[in-house]
Amino acid sequence: MSDPMSTNGMQRKTILVVEDSPTQALHMQALLEQEGLQVLLAHDGRSGLETAQKLHPDLIVLDVQMPGMNGFQVCHQLKNAPETADIPIIMFTRHDEQEAVVLGLQTGAVDYIPKDAFADAVLLETLRQMKIIV
């Protein structure tokens, strides 16, 4: 694992990416590490829940469609557990239907970003606005 301290001596923010596609997970890891963030990866909803409970990341980027437990279920469980309820969650998914967006926000996500041609730029700008990256 990489050093949790940034070059200026301050603690780096930790982002948990819960994504079942290895290609997408590695892409997200590279994108976020390039911004100076420490990235944890979980390959499904269950391991994402366990990682969030154990390591309490600063933010979770969560896919919706995953085998077993989907992203809505993960978000609901995290938001209803006192030890993880305060962790902001961004849904980052191919599901861009209005019903999916509304459900994601109703389960407790702070944002819902569809994976499209501009998704990376939108995600990074959202993280800047949340002061996760500067």
Cα 122 from Cα 13, distance rounded (Å): 19
Q: Please state, as a whole number, how many other Cβ atoms lie within 10 Å of the Cβ of residue 98.
A: 7
Q: Spell out the domains of the chain, with CATH numbers in brackets.
A: 14-129 (3.40.50.2300)
pLDDT digit string, tens, across residues 40-66:
999 999 999 999 999 999 999 999 999
Q: What are phi and psi of 30, to 5 degrees?
A: -60, -45
Q: Is 103 helix (H, G, I), strand (E, B) or coil?
A: helix
Quote the CA–CA distance of 27 and 96 in Å, as a whole number.
20
Instruction: Specify the range with the lowest mean pLDDT, choosing from 12-21, 38-47, 94-103, 123-132.
Output: 94-103
- Could you tell me the pTM of the whole model? 0.88
**Which two tokens mark 95?**
């599901």
Span 2-15, mean pLDDT?
65
